[in-house]
A and B are shown apart, each in its own frame.
Chain A
Amino acid sequence: MTPATPPLPLDWWALGPVLALSAGLLLLLLAELAPARPGSARAPILTLLIFGVAAALAWNVRDVARSPFGGMFVHDGFTLFFTLLFCGIGILGTLISWDYARRTGIGRAEYYALLVGSTLGMILMAASNDLITIFLGLELMSLALYVLVGFRRSRLDSNEAAIKYFLLGAFASGFFLYGIALCYGATGTTNLARMSDFLAASPVQDNTLLITGGLLLLTGFAFKISAVPFHMWTPDAYEGAPTAVTGFMSAGAKAAGFAALLRVVLHPLAGLHEAWGPLLAVVAVLTMTVGNVTALLQLNLKRMLAYSSIAHAGYLLVAVVSGGTDGAAAALLYLAVYSVMNLGAFGVLTLLGREHEERVLLGDVAGLGFRRPWLGLAMAIFMLSLAGIPPTAGFMAKVYLFGVAVRTGHVPLVIVAVLNSVVSVFYYLRVTVAMYMEEPQGEPTALSRSLPGAIALVVAAALTLWWGLQAHALLELAQRSVVGLL
């Protein structure tokens, strides 16, 4: 391959996005030394610039595959895809936070610094080719998110959510770290590529150490992607967190978890597919079923979307179970689509209520569709897309994912998944029922106005529709990004 830029000793260009985000993080904190006017938009504007620069730097080295730091960090198509995705999530997250954070009194530079910090962690997770760096990325992302979840210090539910998320997350990290130790003990390396070579060379059927280590690793991942039975924290954390943070973490943390999971199970563990495939298939079935059935009972939209995010993790696991580059491409496509539509849905929720109010019950959107037609239309598009109804991106992503699963012989799994989508249609449609077919009881919900929020919603809705009508470009990008992953 021919480098587009003169080679530097440490591949600085390949590290561009990571360095940009790290520098930006410090800049945001330093900028706070010069006090801004109350209500100033300095921090969010700076944050947008940081994400923009990081994305541009990533795009700049799109054709270069490198792995600095002795192969701990790789810059390949996969990393590029996720860097762009996380920067996109960061940008949408910043836009929906802009006025929401200001009106709820959390819009300080630290808030945005934590957004940047956790995005940095996510990118590290996707770019790691070593269990140690995956763990570092995981911790960086999680620690920032624990704080963000509890950022509304004056609210009890926010504190409670942060404590729960932190305690359970700490346990999961412990499991994960222990898994790394056992895998290291079994294979003598933490590097995924060398681990892969080792496994190819030696039989592993009765390697108890490795199997235990692998299971512990999967447990750690299952926690981060909120797969059953490690999903318990999700509804509480999602409900208590500031709505904009919920949107950001529901998209980002899940995508990062899947990125690292794909790196691990599809590369070193690919040969052991027969061992973890059926296990993950069972987890997938449980995850989507528990998620969807429990979501049916929710009247709080944030909780509803929390269970829906569990269900979507189940669909994504179907892609992981299918394996191979096609399965990975399907997961990438699905993650991109899911991030956009889910951030859009949470973006709508950030606009409900004024000042410190939080109006996120199903009844709070009653009559919204005709009172605010464009906002209603955007929400309807996100709900239909989450339900997987054409012509939206959610449908295309599901079709491609299920198509890959059918082709790899997982028809029963797909049947469970599609029946689950029918169940999910009920609770997504109920939002449209409330918006278009019911009248508000009492005062209709007061709505906040936000130009950045509106921009985020327009972008998200347009992408959701466009990818539903013409998924070709995104699909090709996803397929190109996984070449060389195996």
Chain B
Amino acid sequence: VQLPWLSTLIFLPLVGAVALALLPAAAHRTIRALATAIAGAEFVVSLPLWWRLVPKQSGWQFAEHHDWIRSVGASYHLGVDGISMLLALLTTLLTLIAVVGSFTAVEKRSKEFYALLLALEAGMLGTFFSLDLLLFYVFWEAMLVPMYLLIGVWGGPRRIYAALKFFLYTMAGSVLMLVAILWLYSLQRAATGVPSFDLDAFYALHIPGGVQTWLFLAFAFAFAIKVPMFPLHTWLPDAHVEAPTAGSVILAAVLLKMGTYGFLRFAMPLFPLASAHFAPWIAGLAIFGILYGALVAMVQPDLKKLVAYSSVSHLGFCMLGLYALNSQGMAGGMLQMINHGISTGALFLLVGVIYERRHTRQIADFGGLWKTMPVYAAVFLVVMLSSIGLPGTNGFISEFLVLLGAFRNQWWWAATAAVGVVLGALYMLWMFQRVMFGPLKNPANERLADLTTREGLVFVPLLILIFWIGFNPQPILDRAQPALERTMQLVQQRSGMSGTADNVGAQR
């Protein structure tokens, strides 16, 4: 009998959240210790997914299937493949880091804070594991509540505005997806006579082209808001700037990936015809987002806003890669999802570190920090270079693959997106120069303490990953590739596309 591994991963943090809620509010140390223990245990429990997943094996692994609401055909169906396994690991790692990174940042109402963070983790994992569309939607939307509260209760001065905007934007997208899910469900029911919300049943469905267009648009709208793609990105800077550091980290590292994951798992394979049809439009918006995000990031006076807009740009690369619809592009897009989680998560943590010391994020308030905080500056340098995509770091591999994939589809996609790479280097380096180099003008910066041991430890796993993926991306690509390949073939066969099919290991 197989252990219900995925259910354990979903329910462990929930149990932890309840346990935290029952602790007395004043027991800060116990609360932090318990939260860390649970997030740590969760990460350890998630690790076997990496080793025990067989990438080449088709079909869902670690699968669990139980009846849920029998009369409507909804089931509790969980499972992973290479794509969701990687994202789940990213989630458990980043949640652990966010918990440890918040020790000193969150003193007020800490038990509620950690309980919500853990509940959020359960929701995110549930979203990645669900193979039943009703179950997926439940997790997808339930997850909004803890994030909304994290922003609204522990956020900055405009937290309420940002929290509501975050909630309403995402919800507005999701409800149309719900209608599309119900439409799919009724098509499925009409075709087979057996009601089911199961993803596999929907995959097997042949949907006429005209209907596909509408359904695809509804799904794509929901996911594009989450990614976020230009021009639906306006909630992101607000949410990021007002959220507490841990919230920003999770938001950037995991929540945005739900959008790209949604395209990969649902929008593309369910509606191949429409996907292929709209691919140029999506790629065009992605490229526009890359350039727009980079240009807007350049003029930001606020560090967090700069990182937020850089996310818009980086997620543009993800989408461009996925919608290049060839194996290099999709591998690049997938890897970019992981890389963006690592480097942008780290960037938000770094901004959080300096904000805790100075209570400002304005670039103009800093300068010459290298002199007072050398270790901090060094870590910042590495993370920034990874975000730029310097060879040897993780960012290089994914951006290169995305550009390669884009080039093989339309050469000018790659040419235009490459401008975004240059712009990315420009705004990051310029920001780094203004914050770290130059004279120490501001007396408030003269006595800043460098990274503490705890803060340093938080960055260690991220730095290791930056270089490990940078030098050896193959283990990750090997795990994701077969699943990506299956998705791509599905799109190509069903949409009648040909000519771009190519062998798996072309980039080796």
| Chain B residues in 8 Å Cβ range of A390 | 137-139, 141-142
Q: Would you list which residues of chain B between 175 and 194 have a CB under 8 Å from chain A?
A: 175-176, 178-179, 182-183, 185-186, 189
In the assembled complex, A132 has its CB within 8 A of some CB on chain B: no
In the assembled complex, B163 has its CB within 8 A of some CB on chain A: yes
| Chain B residues in 8 Å Cβ range of A470 | 68-69
B159–chain A nearest beta-carbon distance, Å: 7
**Which one of A32-40, A87-95, A137-145, A418-426 contacts B?**
A418-426
Report the separation of the CA atoms of residues A438 and B159 in the bound assembly, to the nearest whole angstrom.
11
In the assembled complex, B171 has its CB within 8 A of some CB on chain A: yes
| Chain A residues in 8 Å Cβ range of B104 | none
For A425, the closest partner residue in chain B by CB is B171
B68 contact from A436, A437, A472, Cβ within 8 A: A472
Interface centre among A400, A432, A479 (most CB of B within 10 A): A432
Say whether B71 contacts A437, CB under 8 Å: no
Report the separation of the CA atoms of residues A411 and B178 in the bound assembly, to the nearest whole angstrom.
12
In the complex with contacts A426-B164, A472-B71, A399-B178 CB distance below 8 A: yes
B183 contact from A391, A400, A411, A479, Cβ within 8 A: A411
**Which one of A178-186, A210-218, A401-409 contacts B?**
A401-409
Report the separation of the CA atoms of residues A485 and B172 in the bound assembly, to the nearest whole angstrom.
37
In the assembled complex, B483 has its CB within 8 A of some CB on chain A: no
In the assembled complex, A476 has its CB within 8 A of some CB on chain B: yes
In the assembled complex, B321 has its CB within 8 A of some CB on chain A: no
Report the separation of the CA atoms of residues A426 and B186 in the bound assembly, to the nearest whole angstrom.
30
In the assembled complex, B319 has its CB within 8 A of some CB on chain A: no
Say whether B175 contacts A395, CB under 8 Å: no
B175 contact from A391, A406, A418, Cβ within 8 A: A418
In the assembled complex, A414 has its CB within 8 A of some CB on chain B: yes
B186 contact from A391, A399, A407, A419, Cβ within 8 A: A407
For A420, the closest partner residue in chain B by CB is B175
Say whether B182 contacts A414, CB under 8 Å: yes
In the assembled complex, B65 has its CB within 8 A of some CB on chain A: no
B162–chain A nearest beta-carbon distance, Å: 11
In the assembled complex, A362 has its CB within 8 A of some CB on chain B: no
For A409, the closest partner residue in chain B by CB is B186
Say whether A418 contacts B145, CB under 8 Å: no
Say whether A407 contacts B189, CB under 8 Å: yes
| Chain B residues in 8 Å Cβ range of A425 | 167-168, 171
B167–chain A nearest beta-carbon distance, Å: 6
A391 contact from B142, B172, B185, B189, Cβ within 8 A: B142
| Chain B residues in 8 Å Cβ range of A396 | 69
Say whether B160 contacts A472, CB under 8 Å: no
| Chain A residues in 8 Å Cβ range of B153 | 436-437
| Chain A residues in 8 Å Cβ range of B189 | 407
| Chain B residues in 8 Å Cβ range of A438 | 160
Say whether A406 contacts B183, CB under 8 Å: yes
B152 contact from A395, A399, A407, A437, Cβ within 8 A: A437
Report the separation of the CA atoms of residues A319 and B109 in the bound assembly, to the nearest whole angstrom.
43
In the complex with contacts A370-B109, A391-B138, A433-B164, A414-B69 CB distance below 8 A: no
A389 contact from B69, B139, B141, Cβ within 8 A: B141
Report the separation of the CA atoms of residues A419 and B179 in the bound assembly, to the nearest whole angstrom.
10
B70–chain A nearest beta-carbon distance, Å: 6
In the assembled complex, B144 has its CB within 8 A of some CB on chain A: yes
Q: Beta-carbon contacts of A51-80 to B below 8 Å, as 1s and 0s?
A: 000000000000000000000000000000
Interface size class of A (residues with CB under 8 A): 35 or more
Say whether A389 contacts B142, CB under 8 Å: yes
Interface size class of B (residues with CB under 8 A): 35 or more
Report the separation of the CA atoms of residues A422 and B175 in the bound assembly, to the nearest whole angstrom.
8
In the assembled complex, A471 has its CB within 8 A of some CB on chain B: yes
| Chain B residues in 8 Å Cβ range of A421 | 175
In the complex with contacts A384-B145, A399-B134, A472-B70, A418-B176 CB distance below 8 A: yes
In the assembled complex, A429 has its CB within 8 A of some CB on chain B: yes
Report the separation of the CA atoms of residues A425 and B167 in the bound assembly, to the nearest whole angstrom.
9
Interface centre among A396, A402, A407, A414 (most CB of B within 10 A): A407
In the assembled complex, A415 has its CB within 8 A of some CB on chain B: yes
In the assembled complex, A475 has its CB within 8 A of some CB on chain B: yes
| Chain B residues in 8 Å Cβ range of A389 | 141-142, 144-145, 171
For B70, the closest partner residue in chain A by CB is A472
A437 contact from B141, B160, B167, B168, Cβ within 8 A: B160
| Chain A residues in 8 Å Cβ range of B134 | 399
In the assembled complex, B72 has its CB within 8 A of some CB on chain A: yes
Q: Would you list which residues of chain A between 161 and 216 have a CB under 8 Å from chain B?
A: none
| Chain A residues in 8 Å Cβ range of B342 | none
| Chain B residues in 8 Å Cβ range of A414 | 179, 182
In the assembled complex, B227 has its CB within 8 A of some CB on chain A: no
In the assembled complex, B254 has its CB within 8 A of some CB on chain A: no
In the complex with contacts A390-B138, A470-B69, A475-B71, A437-B178 CB distance below 8 A: no
| Chain A residues in 8 Å Cβ range of B112 | 370
B72 contact from A400, A406, A419, Cβ within 8 A: A400
In the assembled complex, B274 has its CB within 8 A of some CB on chain A: no
Interface centre among A399, A419, A425, A476 (most CB of B within 10 A): A399
| Chain B residues in 8 Å Cβ range of A418 | 175-176, 178-179
| Chain A residues in 8 Å Cβ range of B141 | 389-390, 395
| Chain A residues in 8 Å Cβ range of B137 | 390
Q: Would you list which residues of chain A between 429 and 476 have a CB under 8 Å from chain B?
A: 429-430, 432-433, 436-438, 470-472, 475-476
| Chain B residues in 8 Å Cβ range of A415 | 176, 179
| Chain B residues in 8 Å Cβ range of A475 | 69, 71-72
Say whether A426 contacts B168, CB under 8 Å: yes
Say whether B152 contacts A436, CB under 8 Å: yes
In the assembled complex, B149 has its CB within 8 A of some CB on chain A: yes
Say whether B179 contacts A395, CB under 8 Å: no
Report the separation of the CA atoms of residues A437 and B158 in the bound assembly, to the nearest whole angstrom.
11
B182 contact from A395, A402, A471, Cβ within 8 A: A402
Q: Beta-carbon contacts of B126-168 to A below 8 Å, as 1s and 0s?
A: 0000000010011101101100110011000001100110011
For A471, the closest partner residue in chain B by CB is B69
Report the separation of the CA atoms of residues A479 and B178 in the bound assembly, to the nearest whole angstrom.
23
Say whether A436 contacts B71, CB under 8 Å: no
In the complex with contacts A433-B164, A437-B159, A437-B163, A406-B138 CB distance below 8 A: no
Say whether B71 contacts A406, CB under 8 Å: no
| Chain A residues in 8 Å Cβ range of B176 | 415, 418
Q: Beta-carbon contacts of B55-91 to A below 8 Å, as 1s and 0s?
A: 0000000000000111110000000000000000000
B398–chain A nearest beta-carbon distance, Å: 33
B179–chain A nearest beta-carbon distance, Å: 5
Say whether B152 contacts A403, CB under 8 Å: no
Say whether A395 contacts B69, CB under 8 Å: no
B43–chain A nearest beta-carbon distance, Å: 25
For A405, the closest partner residue in chain B by CB is B182
| Chain B residues in 8 Å Cβ range of A476 | 71
| Chain A residues in 8 Å Cβ range of B164 | 426, 429-430, 433
| Chain B residues in 8 Å Cβ range of A430 | 164
| Chain B residues in 8 Å Cβ range of A402 | 178-179, 182
Say whether B160 contacts A403, CB under 8 Å: no
Say whether A433 contacts B152, CB under 8 Å: yes
Report the separation of the CA atoms of residues A407 and B70 in the bound assembly, to the nearest whole angstrom.
18
Report the separation of the CA atoms of residues A395 and B74 in the bound assembly, to the nearest whole angstrom.
14
Q: Beta-carbon contacts of A293-335 to B below 8 Å, as 1s and 0s?
A: 0000000000000000000000000000000000000000000
A479 contact from B71, B149, B159, Cβ within 8 A: B71
Q: Return 26 A-B CB contacts under 8 Å, by A number.
A: A370-B109, A384-B145, A389-B141, A395-B138, A396-B69, A400-B72, A403-B72, A407-B186, A407-B189, A414-B179, A418-B179, A425-B167, A425-B171, A432-B149, A433-B152, A436-B149, A437-B152, A437-B153, A437-B159, A437-B160, A437-B163, A470-B68, A470-B69, A472-B69, A475-B71, A475-B72
Per CB-CB distance, the 10 closest pairs between chain A and chain B, nearest first, are: A418-B175, A390-B138, A407-B186, A406-B182, A437-B152, A403-B182, A390-B142, A472-B69, A422-B172, A390-B141
Known contacts A414-B179, A422-B172, A475-B71, then 12 further A-B pairs from the complex at CB < 8 Å, ordered by chain A residue: A389-B141, A391-B142, A402-B179, A403-B186, A407-B182, A411-B183, A414-B182, A419-B175, A425-B171, A433-B163, A437-B159, A475-B72
